[in-house]
Amino acid sequence: MKENNEDQMLTGAQILMRILKDEGVDTIFGYPGGAVIDIYDELSRTDIRHILVRHEQGAVHAADGYARAKGKTGVCLVTSGPGATNTVTGIASAYMDSIPVVIITGQVPTHLIGNDAFQEVDIVGITRPCTKHNYLVKTAEELAGVLKEAFYIARSGRPGPVLVDIPKNITKAKVPFRMPEEVNLRSYKPTYNPNQKQLQKITGLIAESERPVIFAGGGVVLSKGSNELTELARKAMIPVTTSLMGLGAFPASDPLWLGMIGMHGTYQANMSVGDCDLLLAIGVRFDDRVTGKTDSFAPNAKIVHIDIDPTSIRKTISVSVPVVGDCRLTLDHLNRMLDQKEIGDLHQRREKWLNRIGEWKKSNPLSYQQGDIIKPQYVIDTLFKLTKGQAIITTEVGQNQMWAAQYYHFDRPGHFITSGGLGCMGFGLPAAIGAQVACPDKLVVDIAGDGSIQMNIQEMATAVQYSLPVKIVILNNRYLGMVRQWQELFYGKRYSFTAMEHAPDFVKLAEAYGAVGLRATKPEEVRPVLSEGLASDKTVIMDFMVEREESVYPMVPAEAPITEMLLV
């Protein structure tokens, strides 16, 4: 880091801009207000791009989508009080998915804190459970150091959101400024390099195993370890499954790909984990939607767990070999150690195992029957074929999310952006906006449901204002589909308050925002509507009137082992 040896007299707002520039920030997503008016005044004098969202939740989701697509820390800026509280859902989503975002909130002047002043909330207290760390800046002199620490903490170790709450008087105060030196926090020292003895155990297990499986998660994507993962799988002839967050970490076109694991995972992925003798879990946290009944998860396997966060290891599942370290670095070490180890002909040893997996793939593949009414799977399948798998896909949450995970096949990381841990409805559209800002030359598509898209539909105005050619594919079944599916299967088809009979006309709504609106009501209209919408250089809503009571299969009932799936 460059060090400026000459003190300058700068306001807090000017110091903030200096730090943002030093951190390489080129885009901020935000919404102005009184407590941050001095920051916005200073921001107008910089070349940092500001994207004006229509709701502060959208700002955090957009910064989240930007971070995932760009591979750098996202930034959002909001005012105090309701501006700050509106960010909480977005912060919690980023926290659950380990996404590096710095959230800058305005606060009332320091002398008013605790007096119930206008638009005062204790946002530090509110967000403490759902941030990696947060700060209330108490003096203008400490602002620069706090901001540098915030960016360092957000992106290092297991990434996550960090909030910095800045009182209004601190943004106005003028103090001496010197660019801080390299951040060095005594109490925070993430472990990046793995223990070599533990890695030797893993190479031995790989050489001995007959039925190994790799289970990769979002940690592989975040560490940029996809190439190393693919190298390991091919070198050791180990089939690969991933969590929802791990989609794209391993190419779906590879013969070793099993598909996604878990509640709506593929038959072959769930059965393989159920029968494997070695499970290499890399960058995962063993979410309940993945494991099902935990005491029946991989019951015959020795489990290796590699993760940069030591608190994730053995939290849910007992493991044989724990390894704390960066996923990419650990995989790189493993690959080099395997090159030096006599492991015999793994192709021959794995043949029986891979043949068994092949039989599972044939017996119960993902499938659907397209009839007279549009099947949602057909829409995703056609979208994949038309885009050749090259699009960045964001999703809302629910059935649309699961069908996207099942039928859009991801060959590269950073192309599937979804709220995995929190399962936040309303995520997809603002996340798509963030991804489109990050990658202006790429096609970005939000796969949505008619319920979820309405959670943050106001961000259509943001997309249109900034000429962002985001495409929204709505699988419109006039239900809160995933809840309806559970009501069908487990509550005697008592569809209690899940019907969405009075949804807006999405075509007219798109046009009202100044976007393009298209609709398909018959199967033969699906491909033409998708082709026209994808070819447009404008923001587009494509409304597909799909089979109302179509369900997502396979499905593992709650608390059941993942090998006990409902297949139809």
Question: What are the catalytic residues?
Answer: 56, 118-119, 168, 482
The secondary structure of the chain in percent helix, strand, coil, rounded to multiples of 5, reads 40, 20, 40
Cα–Cα distance list, 367 to 25, 361, 497, 554, 565 (Å): 44, 11, 29, 10, 15
Cα–Cα distance list, 113 to 360, 368, 529 (Å): 62, 58, 54
Please enumerate in sequence order all residues whose Cβ is within 8 A of that of 390, keeping only pairs 6 or more positions apart, or say none. Answer: 442, 443
| Integer Cα distance of 234 and 564 in angstroms | 29
| Integer Cα distance of 553 and 368 in angstroms | 10
**Helix residue spans in 168-254 (DSSP H):** 168-172, 196-208, 218-222, 226-236
Q: How many CB atoms lie under 10 A from the CB of residue 20? A: 21
Q: How many CB atoms lie under 10 A from the CB of residue 503? A: 17
H, E, C per residue of 73-114: CEEEEECCCHHHHCCHHHHHHHHHCCCCEEEEEEECCHHHCC
Q: What angle do CA 158, 178, 12 make, to 5 degrees?
A: 80
**Helix residue spans in 468-566 (DSSP H):** 481-490, 506-512, 523-535
| Integer Cα distance of 101 and 99 in angstroms | 6
Segment (H or E) for 152: helix 143-155
* Residue 188 dihedral angles phi and psi, to the nearest 5°: -135, 100
Burial class (CB in 10 A: 0-12, 13-18, 19+), 133: middle
Q: Which two tokens stand for residue 248?
A: 């794209």
User: Contact at 8 Å (CB) between 446 and 471?
Assistant: yes
| Integer Cα distance of 83 and 87 in angstroms | 7
User: Contact at 8 Å (CB) between 4 and 179?
Assistant: yes
Q: Which two tokens stand for residue 515?
A: 């976007």
Q: Which residue, among 325, 347, 362, 324, has the nearest Cα to 233 in the 3D structure?
A: 347
Q: Which two tokens stand for residue 198?
A: 């533990």
Please enumerate in sequence order all residues whose Cβ is within 8 A of that of 86, keeping only pairs 6 or more positions apart, or say none. Answer: 55, 56, 57, 78
H, E, C per residue of 447-484: EEECCHHHHCHHHHHHHHHCCCCCEEEEEECCECHHHH
